[in-house]
Structure 1
Amino acid sequence: MRRSGHLVGGLCALGVPFLPGVAMAQEGGVLLTFGIENRIEISRNAGLAIPAEGTEVANVTLLSFGVVSETALDRLTFGVTGGLIARTNDDGSEFDFGRGAVNFAYHREVPAAVLDLTADFRSDDADAFGDDLGDIGAEGTRSDLSLSARKETGRTSGVGLAFGLAYDRTDYQDTTDPDLVDTEEWRGDIAAILRFSEIATGRVGVRYRHREEDDLGTTTTDEATAFAGLDYAISERADLSVELGYTRTETEDSDIITRERGPEASVRLSYDMPVGTAYAQLSLATDADEGQRETFEIGRALETGRDTLSARLGVTHGDETGTDLIGGLAWTRALPDGSFGITLERRVSYDADADERVADSIFSLSWAKNLNESTTLLFDATYELSDAPSERIEQVALDAGFTHALTADWNLSGGVGYTVRNDADGQAESPRLFVAISRDFQFRP
């Protein structure tokens, strides 16, 4: 079985600067941002392996550059980050370039039309992505590329047109896990927007998805959906959104073709409360592997002077997995000298490869305290559970750290962390720590 865990993990991410392309800029003009950070990372058994692996020491130098350009009609952001990494472990020493990321976003809006373009690229160790509790901790390198474009026209007329195109690709290098396969996916949609009145807007269109998985049989999936929807303002506070569709999916795996057809539907009723909003939503989806899944949720969102709360509770039923309870809670409270937050989530999915139900539960607690204008303490605790008939995985991560502004431009940060994992192979532990010094500076040309 493949082991999983944090690379250096947890609070270590606090020492990594945000991509400068998303730096906040003043209204208008061009803002350039440059950043440099040097960090020392020490971790033992970073892959949470059994038997335990040795200690790894890494010296990472991260360089970043970003641009933000904003006018009355459009906004462009661009950021790039990369690191020079020197590692020493039981296998010897190595030096390479990694932790690369590129982000691009462009938004242009006029009364009659809007255009959005995005591009994102990330390359890092395969176990640094942490998409799934059961899939992280792998060897090798992973690269993700995402491209998207969306345009809407006729926004000031009775009939408009909206269309979008997206491309996602994931590549793995030097991996030994057969479950980590390269994937490629195209998505496209087009819809006519029908503005019947100030309170009613309809839409009619089609969506298409093509996915290829480079496994032993090169699995190919083609999915097409025709849909029609209506957004209707029932009153000044209540809004109703309805969408009905029909999906046809064709999957080819090792020259074996399977087809699935079925309805797609969504009904959502939202209501503006004195503080925040409340909603109820019923949805029906058809999947080529799982069949049909029905989900009903109620939710509440509010924001007060000190608190931000988002909560939802529901039930879901799948043809292959049965009925389960799902939900989520995210609560953040602003304190006089910091902040406190709690996150809870339970979700259920279907694993087509293992042909089984997987229930994921997550609980996290975060706390930040400002000791003074230049120093902040941070703490984070996370519990994750992945429960499936074939394996039960539990993982607990505790992280604590600090950030300190040495000067107006230079910052010092550090932290320690500890992760414990229990699964079918037994219990694994991984302690880690880091210290980093960084500088970000901005100017307008």
Structure 2
Amino acid sequence: MRRSGLAFGGFCAVSAALSSSAALAQDGGVRIVFGLENRLEISRNDRLAVPAGGTNIRDETRLSLGLSSSREIDQLEFSASGALIAENGTDGPGTQFTFGREAIDLTYHREIPAAVFDFGASYRNDDVDEFDDDLTGIDETGTRTDTGLSTRLETGRTSSVGFALGASYRSTDYQDTTDPDLNDSTEVTADVAMILHASEVATGRVGLRFSRLDEDDLATTRTDTRTAYAALDYSLSERLDLAAEIGYVESEVEELGVIDRTTGPDLSLGLTYDMPVGTALALFRITTDADEGQRETFEIGRDLETPAATISARLGVTHADVGGTDLIGRLQIGYALPDGALGLTLERGTSYDDEPVTTSRAAINWSKSVNELSSISLDLSYELRDAASERIEQVSFGAGYQHKLTADWALDTGVGYRIRNDGDGHAESPTLFVSISRSFDFRP
């Protein structure tokens, strides 16, 4: 079931306790965090269906475990969570009891002056529509399981010549879905590079990248992508830095035994300038994709941070062989108030999903501390996905109240409302939730 706005509040409280364990573990040693949350949520037409669906009641008890270890040369982070779910709604008769929303993450980082080693592993099983905020997946049913492994090694950091090697594996499996476009897939990537430390202001790289994507669709599609590149990072002055990469990419897509080959450039040129407050940047990029063809993008940007505000702005233009020319950009503003915070986001982008797609989003969020124990918050967003096949508009509103019951227990409650217009018609979905959570942490 997809949630909206501040309906995520209770879970965020537990997640924050886990994610903050890394920062708190910087003092050294091992830190363990246990999290407990019970959340009751009532929503109507939670999948924004047309015609409208019924009322869904869900009670979710989530347990979580986080472990962090920080030493002089390495850091380890581990987290695991799962939930016991009781649900009475439109997916089946009566009340259903399940254990789900399993998630496991492991990261390890080891660094010495001459080398760096990273390893990561992840596992997640949840409802399909909980994995992303793509507007097209609002009514998807079934479950999805993601598994991932990654590792990277860089050596010779104190020598004139070094090497970097990396590899990753990712699989996605679907169960009990109704959308024929949701297909199981596996992706394997590998890269190797030689790093040339020419001087204190210049670093060069020469390398190869490879990826293979296998999709379990009717055509048993396999996509191989190979890229050869050379890159340079150079400090032109004390304030101006240059990052350039020139590459050549070759993609082979095999469907039903027929191979379609695409070749072209893959290059980027970026400049970053340190200003008295923040930085200014410019980026030019050319990419080649097997489906979309060649795309050229140029962006300028500005990042600055003051005691009262943080601003990040990007404005650019992009052109693709298939979709033509579009304006893109992003503006994010965070403003600290005397007793709260105010945030604003405006963004417009383009992508390719069997056809050119333009996405736009505007969001504003506000929070205020009522007193030392309580706070309130408001969220409002507008999203637009515009494609030739369908135009989707969605407005989401959320209002929440947070209260610290004791030093360890927290109460989070709120309401949400979503309005959607798409090819099927007009849909609305109200939501009400209340949750109580606690985290326990100690150092063994």
TM-score range, shorter chain: over 0.9
1:174 aligns with 2:176: yes
1:154-179 deviations in whole A, cap 9, x for unaligned? 11110011111111211110001101
Question: Using the alignment, how far apart are the partners of 1:329 and 1:168 within structure 2?
Answer: 32
Question: Using the alignment, how far apart are the partners of 2:16 and 2:181 within structure 1?
Answer: 31
SS in structure 1 at match of 2:46: coil
| Structure 2 counterparts to residues 394-409 of structure 1, below 5 A | 394-409=393-408
Deviation, 1:120, is 2.1
Deviation, 1:10, is 2.3
Deviation, 1:7, is 2.0
Runs of 4+ in 1 over 4 A off after TM superposition: none
1:436 aligns with 2:430: no
Tell me which residue corresponds to 1:45. Answer: 45
1:122-180 deviations in whole A, cap 9, x for unaligned? 21111112342112320100112222111111111100111111112111100011011
Tell me which residue corresponds to 1:3. Answer: none
Tell me which residue corresponds to 2:4. Answer: 9
SS in structure 2 at match of 1:420: strand
Tell me which of 291, 294, 308 is aligned to 1:292: 294
Question: Using the alignment, how far apart are the partners of 1:20 and 1:74 within structure 2?
Answer: 21
Q: Indicate if the aligned counterparts of 1:58 and 1:86 stay in contact, CA closer than 8 A.
A: yes
Question: Using the alignment, how far apart are the partners of 1:259 and 1:389 within structure 2?
Answer: 26
Q: Indicate if the aligned counterparts of 1:148 and 1:167 stay in contact, CA closer than 8 A.
A: yes
SS in structure 1 at match of 2:137: coil
Amino acid aligned to 1:85: I
Flag the 1:136–1:186 CA change in 2: closer, same or farther, 3 A: farther
Q: Indicate if the aligned counterparts of 2:105 and 2:123 stay in contact, CA closer than 8 A.
A: yes
| Structure 2 counterparts to residues 357-396 of structure 1, below 5 A | 357-396=356-395
Tell me which of 88, 94, 100 is aligned to 2:102: 100
Q: Indicate if the aligned counterparts of 2:48 and 2:138 stay in contact, CA closer than 8 A.
A: no
Question: Using the alignment, how far apart are the partners of 1:233 and 1:441 within structure 2?
Answer: 47
Tell me which residue corresponds to 2:19. Answer: 22
SS in structure 1 at match of 2:260: strand
Flag the 1:172–1:185 CA change in 2: closer, same or farther, 3 A: same
Q: Indicate if the aligned counterparts of 2:301 and 2:314 stay in contact, CA closer than 8 A.
A: yes
Question: Using the alignment, how far apart are the partners of 2:232 and 2:423 within structure 1?
Answer: 49
Amino acid aligned to 1:56: N
Amino acid aligned to 2:9: L
| Structure 2 counterparts to residues 211-250 of structure 1, below 5 A | 211-250=213-252
Amino acid aligned to 2:327: L
Q: Indicate if the aligned counterparts of 2:2 and 2:138 stay in contact, CA closer than 8 A.
A: no
SS in structure 2 at match of 1:192: strand
Question: Using the alignment, how far apart are the partners of 1:388 and 1:194 within structure 2?
Answer: 45
Q: Indicate if the aligned counterparts of 1:66 and 1:78 stay in contact, CA closer than 8 A.
A: yes
Question: Using the alignment, how far apart are the partners of 1:155 and 1:376 within structure 2?
Answer: 48
Q: Indicate if the aligned counterparts of 1:8 and 1:43 stay in contact, CA closer than 8 A.
A: no
Q: Indicate if the aligned counterparts of 1:20 and 1:64 stay in contact, CA closer than 8 A.
A: no
SS in structure 1 at match of 2:6: helix
1:337 aligns with 2:339: yes
TM-score for the superposition, normalised by structure 2: 0.96
Amino acid aligned to 1:277: T
| Structure 2 counterparts to residues 10-409 of structure 1, below 5 A | 10-16=5-11, 17-18=14-15, 21-24=18-21, 25-26=24-25, 27-90=27-90, 91-352=93-354, 356-409=355-408
Q: Indicate if the aligned counterparts of 1:240 and 1:268 stay in contact, CA closer than 8 A.
A: yes
Deviation, 1:416, is 0.4
Q: Indicate if the aligned counterparts of 1:8 and 1:42 stay in contact, CA closer than 8 A.
A: no
* Larger deviation, residues 171-180 vs 20-29: 20-29
Question: Using the alignment, how far apart are the partners of 1:8 and 1:40 within structure 2?
Answer: 13
Question: Using the alignment, how far apart are the partners of 1:135 and 1:55 within structure 2?
Answer: 20
Question: Using the alignment, how far apart are the partners of 2:185 and 2:197 within structure 1?
Answer: 39
Flag the 1:402–1:365 CA change in 2: closer, same or farther, 3 A: same
1:49-99 deviations in whole A, cap 9, x for unaligned? 011110011110000111111111111111111000000124322100111
Question: Using the alignment, how far apart are the partners of 1:130 and 1:233 within structure 2?
Answer: 38
Question: Using the alignment, how far apart are the partners of 2:165 and 2:155 within structure 1?
Answer: 9
Q: Indicate if the aligned counterparts of 1:105 and 1:117 stay in contact, CA closer than 8 A.
A: yes
Deviation, 1:43, is 0.6
Q: What are structure 1's unaligned runs of at least 5 residues? A: 1-5
* Larger deviation, residues 258-267 vs 137-146: 137-146
Question: Using the alignment, how far apart are the partners of 2:20 and 2:243 within structure 1?
Answer: 35
1:230-255 deviations in whole A, cap 9, x for unaligned? 11100000011110010110001122
Q: What are structure 2's unaligned runs of at least 5 residues? A: none
Q: Indicate if the aligned counterparts of 1:11 and 1:400 stay in contact, CA closer than 8 A.
A: yes
SS in structure 1 at match of 2:129: helix
Question: Using the alignment, how far apart are the partners of 2:205 and 2:101 within structure 1?
Answer: 42
Deviation, 1:260, is 0.4
SS in structure 2 at match of 1:14: helix
Question: Using the alignment, how far apart are the partners of 2:134 and 2:255 within structure 1?
Answer: 24
1:417-442 deviations in whole A, cap 9, x for unaligned? 00000001110000011101111011
1:314-372 deviations in whole A, cap 9, x for unaligned? 000000010000010111011111111011111111222xxx21000011111111111
Amino acid aligned to 1:425: D
Deviation, 1:21, is 4.3
Question: Using the alignment, how far apart are the partners of 1:198 and 1:127 within structure 2?
Answer: 48
